[in-house]
Amino acid sequence: MKKINISPWVQRFSEIYLKKYKSTKKIKVLDLACGSGRHSRYFIKKKLSVFSVDKNISGIRDLQTRSNISIIEADIEKTDPWSHPSALKGKKFNLIVVTNYLFRPLFPSIIRNLKKNGMLIYETFSKGNEKYGHPKNLNFLLKSGELLKIVEKKLHVIAFEEGYIENPKKAVVQRICAKKL
């Protein structure tokens, strides 16, 4: 398996969430827009049931033989992954992780398909990032406080950060960890 370079934000809050379970075998994790699968790999090692979704699955093809992963090739900007016949139809998740990806129309589905007491861990680029690299298009950058506004009254916010970071590279990000009550 490839080297895992997990986001410290994802690691911190997923570990807090998982500590309350004696057995993690029934924990379902969705890694949405998973790319090369760095977070999927992390959760596979933890023996969780992982659902990895991306429009290009070449970065996670090496995981296909693992028994605790479902790989779903889908363009989630064209079709809601819960609305068409796929491995996600009818599924709700204990943990939904999204990093370095923003497609605003998916937020209602993400929140709706989070199980009660489930956790959303979201980390992506924010306005100001255009100075440091991609994305530069404002349509793909969160506005100040936008993640908070999206989840307010729907999820309980555990932690939120917004601002400049230097690692793993210079960027302006927003990150949230929120629980469905």
Average pLDDT, the chain: 93
> Quick check: 165 pLDDT over 70?
yes
CB-CB contact of 60 with 40 (8 Å): yes
Residue 104 pLDDT: 96
What is the token pair recorded at 108?
């209602």
CB-CB contact of 76 with 9 (8 Å): no
> Quick check: 27 pLDDT over 80?
yes
Can you list the domains of the chain with their CATH numbers? 6-178 (3.40.50.150)
Distance in angstroms (rounded) separating the CA atoms of residues 87 and 124: 25
Strand partners, 53: 32, 72
Distance in angstroms (rounded) separating the CA atoms of residues 167 and 132: 12
Which residue stretches of 46-145 are H helix? 107-112
